Structure 1
Amino acid sequence: MFSEEQLVVYPAQGVGRVERIETQVIGGASADFFIVRILSNNVTLMVPVKNAANVGLRPLCTAEQGAAIIESLKDRSDFTGYTGQNWNRRYREYSEKLKSGDLADVAYVLKELLLIGQNKELSFGERRLLEQATSLLTLELALALDKDQQEIKDVINEIFADVLQPKPEE
């Protein structure tokens, strides 16, 4: 399924590299594990080979998929906006999307939070989710598109320049 040195994505953790595949005996049973080091924080994960798909371990997106994700950020027609839904419900919904491991879901959370932040102050939890979504998205896109992570952040900032403008003091 995955090979040593391959870049993979672990949901909510982000991009990692398969350092090795090893067999360990646990409770008398032998099992194979992917040893994955997460690039952003240097954490090492042991992912059972048999369970890798169930936990959402997936290959890095392709350059084509990455370009499509960037294009999707430009489309605001799917923006649900701040519909009176309380921040707690939004927080749970967005957390689930980040845990899904689906890059389109991560992009959705980033876009929604940036656009919501245009009209109201984000809660502390929402700001943390925005930081997490930004980190997850920019690192994977940078690697997929062979760019620097800051270049991807700059592209996102350009897409949302109208939203990210400082608000005039009232």
Structure 2
Amino acid sequence: MFSIDELVVYPAQGVGRVERVESQTVGGQPVDFYIVRIIANNVTLMVPVKNARNVGLRHVCPAEEASAIMESLADRSTFTGYTGQNWNRRYREYSEKLKSGNLADVAYVLKELLLIGGGKELSFGERRLLEQATGLLTLEVAHALGQDQEDVKNRINDLFEDVLKPKTPE
């Protein structure tokens, strides 16, 4: 399913590289594991080969999908604005989307938090989710498009320039 040195995505952890396949005995039975090193934080994960799809391990998205995700960030027609929903409920919803491993869900969280943050101060938890979503999305898109992660971050900052500007007191 995945080969050694291939870039893969693990939900909520991001892009990693399959370093090797290792066999270990678990409950008296031999079990093969993908050994995946996450690029962003150098963490090593052991993912059972037979269960890899079930836990959400997947290939890095194709370039076409990455381009479509970047274009979707520019579309603000789906943003409903800050609806008064408390930050705790949003935090749970956004956390679930980040854990899904779906890049479109990660882009949704990123866009929502950037736009909400343009209208009000984000809570500490929301700022952490924003950082996580930014890291997950920019690294995968960068690899999919063969670009530098900083360039992708800069493109996103340009898209949200109007809401990222520091507020000036009136």
Question: TM-score band (shorter)?
Answer: over 0.9
CA positional deviation for 1:31: 0.7
Amino acid at match of 1:122: L
Counterpart for residue 141 of structure 1: 141
Q: Percent identity?
A: 75
- Detail structure 1 runs of 4+ shifted over 3 Å in the superposition: none
Number of the residue aligned with 2:44: 44
The within-5 A match list for 1:10-49 is 10-49=10-49
Structure 1 counterpart of 2:85: 85
1:9-46 superposed Cα distances (whole Å, 9 cap, x missing partner): 00000000000111111120111110000000000000
For 1:60 and 1:21, how far apart are their aligned partners in 2? 19
Secondary structure (helix, strand or coil) at the match of 1:104 reads: helix
CA shift at 1:80, angstroms? 2.4
Q: Provide the rounded CA distance (Å) in 2 between the counterparts of 1:80 and 1:19.
A: 43
Give secondary structure in 1 for the equivalent of 2:139.
helix
Q: Report how many aligned residue pairs link the two structures.
A: 170
Q: TM-score, normalised by structure 2?
A: 0.98
> What is the alpha-carbon distance in structure 2 between the residues aligned to residue 19 and residue 110 of structure 1?
30
Distance 1:120 1:148 in 2: 30
Measure, in 2, the Cα distance between the counterparts of 1:76 and 1:31: 47
Residue 73 of structure 2 aligns with which residue? 73
* Amino acid in structure 1 at the alignment position of 2:150: Q
Instruction: Give the deviation of 1:150 after TM superposition.
Output: 0.6
Gap runs ≥5 in structure 2? none
Q: Deviations over 1:76-133 (max 9, x none)?
A: 1111221111000000000000000000000000000000011110000000000000
The TM-score normalised by the length of structure 1 is 0.98
Q: Flag structure 1 segments of 5+ consecutive residues without an equivalent.
A: none
What residue identity is the alignment partner of 1:160? F
CA distance in 2, matches of 1:4, 1:31: 17
